Amino acid sequence: MDLTGHRYNIAHNGFTVIEDIYTGAEVSAIINAIESVDRAGPLFRQTDDVFAIRQFLKAVPDAFPLIFNNRLKNVISNVFGDYYFAVKSIYFDKPGSSNWFVAWHQDLTISVDKKIDIAGYGPWTVKHNQFGVQPPIDILQDNFTIRIHLDDTDEGNGALKVLPGSHLKGIYRPENIDWQQETEVSCNVPAGGIMIMRPLLMHASNRTTNNKKRRVVHIEFSRAELVEGIDWAEKR
């Protein structure tokens, strides 16, 4: 697989889409692993609009070898190198009837194991007993996210909308978006494909309008060693 174009897309646009990382059988195996786990417990969240699993790789351990197949490992190694590790994982199951949408934002926080006052880290959040903090910007600039699509996803069922190149603008507040200069792009991904993105890429997603499901495994990667006193909450 020639990944030259994808490296260029990530560097200049902040994202890329790669199809056929998983076969239909592999997608079905991942779905089966998810559906076979007990949905009780604090890592599972169920509403009418979304079912989510936080710390997904911990909560669904059988999915780990299915997700990290040779094709995905080859993409990570060839695009980013060998020193990255997973630091956060979430599963989103957006039903076909969902009205859930996500407004324009950057992913500015990382998940860590404890909260302490450290220069350069802040503000802090706590969500579902998980500590989040905004780290120094160089960590965010170097991290990347892989979104694994288990369903065909387009504008009709909440594909991510992005502003290409916005990851190069530092901290970019939604209220400061210059719509005279920006052009939003829908990141349509077929089932078995992945979207790779930088966390500083400005992104959003719409409500579902076509009554089709959207199931995505979201995994964040880093190679940064955090300042002494805190560590990644999900490092593996």
pLDDT at 225 over 90: yes
pLDDT at 128 over 80: no
Q: Which two tokens stand for residue 143?
A: 């991290």
pLDDT surpasses 90 at 204: yes
pLDDT at 39: 83
State residue 187's pLDDT score: 97
pLDDT of residue 111: 96
Of the listed ranges 7-16, 23-32, 63-72, 90-99, the one predicted with least confidence: 90-99
What's the mean pLDDT in 203-216? 94
Segment 11-23 mean pLDDT: 98
Task: Work out the average pLDDT over 23-44.
Answer: 92
The verdict on whether omega for the bond into residue 135 sits within 30 degrees of 0, i.e. cis, is: no
Task: Calculate mean pLDDT across residues 148-156.
Answer: 96
Average confidence (pLDDT) over 136-162: 97
Query: Contact 222/120 with Cβ under 8 angstroms?
Result: no
Average per-residue pLDDT for the chain: 95
- What integer pLDDT is reported at residue 168 of this predicted model? 98
Lowest mean pLDDT among 45-54, 126-135, 186-195: 45-54
Q: What is the pTM of this model?
A: 0.96
Which helix (H) or strand (E) covers residue 79, if one does?
A: helix 70-80
Q: Where are the domains of the chain?
A: 4-222
Report the amino acid identity of residue 88: K
Other Cβ atoms within 10 Å of 167 Cβ, number: 25
Class for the domain spanning 4-222: mainly beta
* Whole-angstrom distance, CA of residue 55 vs CA of residue 44: 9
Element (H, E) at 205: strand 203-205
- pLDDT confidence of residue 47: 82
Q: What percent of the chain has pLDDT over 70?
A: 100
pLDDT at 152: 97
pLDDT at 48: 79
E strand or H helix that includes residue 58: helix 56-59
pLDDT band, very low/low/confident/very high, at 197 (cuts 50, 70, 90)? very high
Region 189-204 average pLDDT: 98
How many CB atoms sit inside 10 A of residue 130's CB?
A: 18
pLDDT at 42: 83
